[in-house]
Amino acid sequence: MRRSCRAFAIIPMAVLGLSALAGCVDEKIIFRDRDLFEEPLAQAANFLGYSDQAAQLTVCGNCHVEKQGDWEGTAHADAWETLQASGAAQGFCEGCHSVNELGNAIDVEAGYNTTFEDRYHDVQCESCHGPGLAHVTNPTDLTVPMAPLSVGIDLTVGCGECHAGSHHPFVEEWSQSRHGDMNAYPQGRSDCESCHTGEGALELLGVQTIYSEFGTVVDDTDNNLPITCAVCHDPHDASNPGQLRMSVDDPDVEKNLCMQCHVKRAVPDLEDSPGGTRGPHSPQGPLLLGVVGDVGWLPPNFAYNIDRIRGSHGSAANAGLCVGCHVNSYDVNDASGAFVVTATGHLFKPIPCLDASGAPIADDSCAVNTTERTWASCTTSGCHGDATAALSAYNAATTRIDNLVAELDALLTQVVTNDPTQINRGDTIFTVAEGAQFNMELGEIRSSAVHNPFMTEALLVASIDEVRDEYGLPAQTNVSLRTMWPQFVPVED
């Protein structure tokens, strides 16, 4: 049972394009330059591995030339070499650096783990897609090996079978993050699924592909996938660092990975709810970038005559943007300097609380100080000299915004006391008070003070002025409003 196909590994993949695929499946064209694969040993359980190991041509890659080319650029294609070069290779290391039952639906030892053959070196297509023999010998039948999108928190399938353990606890961290947590509200609601489920998110990101769970969980009211690894990472894309599906450093909401979802409602949605019913909903992307008009309600008197109001956090000074603060990886060592765990940054927390060993945890209930939390993302970037400096910047910005929110809140209370209809989000009239309330809610999101203190303050200050003018209210005397404003200097690109 051998099939032949043209060997083209030394010819640039792009030139061959689809003709290679046709060459493999069109029975009128028979290439006999080289065998597509050697019959695998019985104990390999139908894994095929490399067609040409020296050229790192996978059997799959003979036909799927584009995927082969993209995969070659990923670290998965170097996994065996990296292991050997480490000087620490031992038998038990090899499973995660080769093709076998890890990462796919097979649950008995297979591939490298039963044959120890070189053709199974590296993390190849079949690591995720599973054994390919049936598909390769009959590519058009229905035995296509689909990779799982699920991550396997129980470590029985998917990326998690390898990306786990103290040296790389991606799954352990991710599963405790909000991305790894499936809430009930979006299920079966197409307007929510695009950001709140794994299946919906792939569609949102333009991925028109099928995977092993495809069609089985969408709309299942109990069982949607969370924002799994393969939502953010594309195993066949090396064009962004870290196999990311999209750029994370592009300061454009259309092109930035995180901002595909963290962008739901940054301005009042008057089309769907003319009364301004809804407050901000994941406004982080537009707020960070601070383009005037893209975030917050702009009071008619909004007089800052510039295109953009933002701090250094949203500028080239923090090139990683969201990821610069929210995905921070470092080793945790104990007092004697011995390795404890690698923090992977996949809790997505910028200033996480720490456990007794100094490792970041998901629980957010600790105090905001420099002993119970790490401020490493603020300091290792070189932006803040030390944790104390970062904490005091955080406290200063938070206090200023809290004061403005309190002032606006007091004014809005007076407005409603005088005329309750001014804040009636159930009607179809959008009032100044309702606009100001939207901005107040933006200020109430604690992170707004970090994401963009200047824009948040500009919106609050203008809202306060507008509400006073509109409703003829006196200034609040108990709050020192403009303490910060004279210092405001917009950041240049």
Window 353 to 372, contacts with ligand HEC (CB under 6 A): 364
Query: In 3D, which of 129, 133, 113 has the Cα closest to residue 121?
Result: 113
Among residues 399, 403, 405, 344, the alpha carbon closest in space to that of 376 is found at: 344
Window 47-66: contact mask with ligand HEC (x via CB under 6 A): -x---------xxxxxxx--
Encoded amino acid at 185, one letter = Y
**Interface segment toward ligand HEC; rule CB under 6 A; list 126-134, 333-341, 455-463, 483-491:** 126-134
Give the nearest distance from C-beta 309 to ligand HEC in angstroms.
Answer: 15
For 373, the token pair is 């939390």
Q: Please give the C-alpha separations between residue 215 and each of 129, 211, 212, 225, in angstroms, as whole numbers.
A: 17, 9, 9, 12
Q: Which two tokens stand for residue 156?
A: 């029985």
How is residue 177 written in tokens?
Answer: 């993050």
d(CA 158, CA 127): 9
* Among 8-16, 121-129, 295-303, 474-482, the segment contacting ligand HEC (CB under 6 A): 121-129
Distance CA 458, CA 291 (A): 12
- CA gap 459, 475 in Å, rounded: 17
Using CB under 6 A, which residues numbered 331 to 350 contact ligand HEC?
346, 348, 350
The nearer residue to ligand HEC, 103 or 296, going by C-beta atoms, is: 103
List of residues 6+ apart from 76 with CB closer than 8 A: 122, 123, 124, 127, 235
Q: Which of residues 9-38 bind ligand HEC (CB under 6 A)?
A: 21, 24-25
Of the candidates 40, 235, 360, 453, which one interacts with ligand HEC according to CB under 6 A?
235
**Binding test (CB under 6 A) with ligand HEC, winner from 261, 291, 376, 461:** 261
Nearer to ligand HEC, 203 or 409 (CB): 203
Residues 6+ apart with CB under 8 A from 458: 302, 304, 309, 488
Counting contacts by CB under 6 A, is residue 308 touching ligand HEC? no
Closest CA to 76 of 91, 61, 92, 62: 61
Residues 275-304 that bind ligand HEC (CB under 6 A): 281-282, 284-285, 288
Contact with ligand HEC (CB under 6 A) among 9, 16, 55, 89: 89
Q: Which of 242, 297, 246 is nearest to 442 (CA)?
A: 297
418: Cβ contacts below 8 Å, ≥ 6 apart? 471
Is 217 exposed, middle or buried, given 0-12, 13-18 or 19+ CB atoms closer than 10 A? Answer: middle
> Which of these, 370, 410, 405, 373, lies nearest to 391 by C-alpha position?
370
Using CB under 6 A, which residues numbered 442 to 481 contact ligand HEC?
A: 445-447, 450-451
* Residue 68 beta carbon to ligand HEC: minimum distance, rounded to whole angstroms: 4
Answer yes or no whether residue 195 interacts with ligand HEC by CB under 6 A.
yes
What is the residue type of 221? T
Nearest approach in angstroms of CB 417 to ligand HEC is 30
Which stretch in 299-307, 322-330, 402-410, 484-492 sits in contact with ligand HEC by CB under 6 A?
A: 322-330
Q: Which residue has the tokens 């070499």?
A: 81
Q: Which positions from 364 through 423 interact with ligand HEC, judged by CB under 6 A?
A: 364
Give the type of residue at 151. V
Rounded to a whole number of angstroms, the minimum distance from the CB of residue 66 to ligand HEC is 9
310 binds ligand HEC (CB under 6 A): no
Q: Which of 6, 119, 121, 262 binds ligand HEC (CB under 6 A)?
A: 262
Examine residue 196 and tell whether it contacts ligand HEC (CB under 6 A): yes
* Residue number with CB closer to ligand HEC (126 or 470): 126
Residues 205-224 vs ligand HEC: string with x where CB under 6 A?
--x-xxx-------------
Closest distance of CB 340 from ligand HEC, Å: 15
Which residue from 351, 415, 458, 460 is in contact with ligand HEC, where contact means CB under 6 A?
Answer: 351
Q: Does 83 bind ligand HEC (CB under 6 A)?
A: yes
Interface mask (CB under 6 A) for ligand HEC, residues 127-156, using x and -? xxx--x--xx--xx---xxxx-x-x-----
